Chain A
Amino acid sequence: MQMILFKMNQQHYLISADTVEEVVDTIAITQVPLAPKWVEGLINLRGTVITVVNLATLIGVAESATNKNILVLNHEGNRKGLLIEEVMEVLDIEDQDVQLAGINSDSHFVGVVAVEDVIADVIDVAKLSF
């Protein structure tokens, strides 16, 4: 299974590449007053208006100083942008590589993977409630 490794505030995370349509550099984001805190705003992705969600705020971790990339997700036809600090690389991860799976069933995290010299949390897109 291909997964995208990215980092936020010195922490590493993995997300399934299946749901990620593309990775774009952060562009001007228009804020939406009154929207939930984790809604960063709207971007213009080649003529389509997409809502960008701040992943750090959504999953309740410390925010990074800079956010360089937006992952454009397509979850069941619903397109959303996910604001993150920076994409590192794309990795091949086998299911058995995921450790501590299922410990906390209602969290966004579905396990951890030790890749090279870092430990990354695996995020399940389906469990991101937006």
Chain B
Amino acid sequence: MDDNSVYLNLFFEESDDNLALLNDSVLQLESDPQNMDLINEIFRAAHTLKGMSATMGYDVMTKITHKMENLFDFFKTGKLQVTSEYISIIFDCLDTLSQLVEDLREGNELQESQISGPLAKIAVVEAQVNGAAPVAASSTVVETTALDNTFPNLDAADVDVINVAVNDGHNAFQIGVRIDPESALKGARVFLVMEKLGQGGDVIVVEPDTERLEAGDFDTDFKFIYVTKNAQAEVASSIANISEIDQILVDPFGTVTAAELTPSAPVATPAPAQSTPAAVAIPAAPVEKAEAKNNHPQKAANNQSIRVDLNRLDLFLNIVSELVVYRNQLEDASKRDSMDDVKDSLEHVSRLTSELQDLVLKIRMQQVNVVFSRFPRMVRDLSQQLGKDIELIIKGEETELDKTVVAELSEPLIHLFRNSLDHGIELPDVREAHGKPRQGVIELSAMQEGNKVHITLKDDGKGLDPVAIRASAERKGINTEGMSEDEVKKLVFHPGFSTSQEVTNISGRGVGLDAVVAKIVELGGAFDLTSEVNVGTTFTIKLPLTLSIIQALLVKVGTETFATPLDVVERVVMVTEDEITMTGNQEVYAFQGMLIPVLRTDKVLDIPGQAIQRRYGIVVKLENDYFMVLVDQLLGQQEIVIKKIDSLLQQLNRYQGATILGNGSVALILDVNAICHATKGGTLNEVGPLNEI
């Protein structure tokens, strides 16, 4: 068997794509059963999947795809009505297929037993269909004639050659081969058969002739006479090892004539051909286990590839070639010591660098669709399980985010979804009693706002009930006295908090929502929640477009330079000491009619401060709260690249990272969020103080 390993990654990628497409389309089909275009699309995807797995020699996968295709065929021909029962069976198949692909990715071997569950279900359906309409043979059952391996009109010269070879101690076989009618590359299969046999002997007569065979210009069968020293069984199995071979008939030359062949029965799946006792017939391509293992020597790297629009890549190449031109000019100008030319070229280089930077960021962008596409299926399954009727609306799925963010997004969203499905939307009867439509609505939307992306999950369920939360909090020993209603609602993010009376297997173990917040914060995002009893709950996640390059304000505190992310900055004001008032244990500043807390960076970071009268106050807005961060000097605004810092320094919870300034020195990036919250006490991000409230 040929070495497929180079195609493995492609196979995985395409399988993933096709499975995702199938999942989507089947889901659509459930709500739109009459849509013929959709069925055709499903058919195509399933067929591609089958073809791919067959090419790779993954028979188990081919088998289940084939069976699944039968179901689609029943839909297409109207033998079956699309019902959720059948859709569920198909999803069962798709899940099994995903599992199979996953197993292959990890280098495991596929077992027949893995697909027995869904296969059994399909068999029941098939039996029903065929039982109901016994006359109409399923279209997948192809009426076939017997595979023929006889040569009634052989040249005398050829017979001579064969006889000489036989007398010489060789075996001569007449061989008939039937290629899988689904095979896309019949010619290539013939070539493989011939090449394989060519290694151990000689092929003498071929029908149809070689040219037509290699061009694929024949039906499914071809026959030839083969002279070899190998035994019959060996020859048969070496052909059988080639994939997409339906049937093989190997007989010693001259033992079988056309008259002796009995017509074989219609075969739906590869079945041993009927033949004389002397013949060895082998069902199609049972891939040797050892070979299957060789197919995936390396554990496929976990989907660390990204698809890039070819136009973007071309543009990339153009810019780089332009860059090379200016670099050469630069070298030349520097040799000539011509300052003007250096400046000129440098200008171009700097323009190209920023173009490159933009482009690379764009290449890293991925549509949130990658994550969103899994939810329709999840909502369907869970709502069935919970006996709820839920419609899912998805908006803005083409919104783009940095790939790393997209990859991390699915986990928190799943948590939120489960929460909405389980606790948010009520049972149809309950909804009716509250005067709401029986069908609940969950809306998932994404949109870009400035350099942030907002992802909103909104349900029209029962909402968070502050009374119930308060009661539950009290039971768990959390003192809620003096907490506003909003603060009480945010208690649901407290670890170990669950308002659900009973624990279900979907959510409600009290883990989840706190994990969501932790994840979002880790991604540099913010999280918001609004909820009203009986109206619904809205979760909003705000994420930065990209993680690696940000706009920042460079400031000086003491002798050190720091960077502050610009996105949280509302405005910068000049502040003198007497404008800051001390109230209780907190300094405040009057900003737009509000008193906002003042944080002295030098104190927070324990840096020797400078005794200056005028400082700069950076007003930042975090979620709905304002803070003022005091710094000594303002150096300006700049685009900076975020560099990771040691985990040891990350644990200080004061710095987002570091960046390298134009002069090559390192500046720390202040984590304004953490700094402000550290002094605020009792927040979402910091769980500890909650118990003390």
The answer to whether B648 and A44 have CB atoms under 8 Å apart is no
Please give, as numbers and ranges, the residues of chain B lying within 8 Å of A31 by CB-CB distance.
560
Q: Chain B interface secondary structure, helix, strand, loop or mixed? A: mixed
- Whether A39 pairs with B665 at a CB distance below 8 angstroms is no
Which single residue of chain B is at the shortest CB-CB distance from A31?
A: B560
Kindly list chain A residues whose C-beta atoms are within 8 Å of the C-beta of B666: 28, 30, 41-44, 49
Residues from chain B with a CB closer than 8 A to the CB of A35 are: 648-649, 652
CA distance A47 to B667 in the complex (A): 12
Asked if residues A32 and B606 are in contact (CB atoms below 8 Å), the reply is: no
Answer whether residue B618 sits at the interface, using C-beta atoms and an 8 A cutoff.
Answer: no
B645 within 8 A of A: yes
Q: Does A30 lie within 8 Å of B606, measured CB to CB?
A: no
A102 on interface, CB distance cutoff 8 Å: no
Cβ-defined contact, A32 with B664, below 8 A:
no
The docked-state distance in angstroms from the alpha carbon of A43 to that of B652 is: 18
| Min CB–CB distance A72 → chain B (angstroms) | 14
CA A34 – CA B655 in complex, angstroms? 11
B660 & A34 in contact (Cβ 8 Å cutoff): no
Instruction: Find the B residue at minimum CB distance from A79.
Output: B646
Question: Are A39 and B648 CB-contacts (below 8 A) given A30-B668, A33-B606?
Answer: yes
Instruction: Write the chain B residue with the least CB distance to A50.
Output: B646
Enumerate A35-56 residues with CB–CB distance to B below 8 Å. Answer: 35-36, 39, 41-44, 47-49, 51
Q: Which residues of A contact B606 (CB under 8 A)?
A: 33-34
Assess whether B628 is interfacial by the CB under 8 Å rule: no
B632 CB, nearest partner CB in chain A, Å? 14
Q: Which of A43, A48, A49, A51 has the most CB of B within 10 A?
A: A49
Q: Tell me if B374 is interfacial: C-beta within 8 Å of chain A.
A: no
On whether the beta carbons of A47 and B649 are closer than 8 Å, the reply is no
Q: Are B645 and A51 in contact (CB under 8 A)?
A: yes
Q: Between A and B, how many residue pairs show CB distances below 8 Å?
A: 56
Q: When each residue 659-672 of chain B gets 1 if its CB lies under 8 Å from chain A and 0 otherwise, what string results?
A: 11000111110000
Q: Which residue of B lies closest to A47 (CB)?
A: B660
Q: Would you give the shortest CB distance from B511 to chain A, in whole angstroms?
A: 31
Q: Shortest distance in angstroms between A77's beta carbon and chain B's nearest beta carbon?
A: 12
Tell me how far the C-beta of A12 lies from the nearest C-beta in chain B, rounded to whole angstroms.
Answer: 28
Contact B658 A42 (CB under 8 A): yes
Within 8 A of B (CB), among A1-59: 28, 30-36, 39, 41-44, 47-49, 51
Instruction: Assess the A49–B645 pair: CB atoms within 8 A.
Output: yes
A43 to chain B, nearest CB (A): 6
Give, as a whole number of angstroms, the nearest-CB distance from A18 to chain B: 21
The answer to whether B668 and A32 touch across the interface, beta carbons within 8 angstroms, is yes
Which of B607, B644, B645, B649 neighbours the largest number of chain A CB atoms within 10 Å of its CB? B649
Kindly state the separation between the CA atoms of A41 and B667 in the bound complex, as whole angstroms: 10
B594-627 residues at the A interface, CB under 8 angstroms: 605-607
A130's partner among B648, B658, B660 (CB-CB below 8 A) is B648
Please name 14 pairs of A and B residues whose Cβ atoms are closer than 8 Å in the assembled complex, sorted by A. A28-B666, A30-B560, A30-B658, A32-B652, A33-B606, A34-B654, A41-B666, A43-B666, A44-B664, A44-B665, A47-B660, A48-B643, A49-B659, A51-B646
A interface residue numbers (CB < 8 A to B)? 28, 30-36, 39, 41-44, 47-49, 51, 80, 130
Having A41-B666, A42-B645, A130-B648, one finds 12 other A-B pairs with CB under 8 Å, namely A28-B665, A30-B668, A32-B655, A34-B606, A35-B649, A42-B649, A44-B660, A44-B665, A49-B659, A51-B645, A51-B648, A51-B649
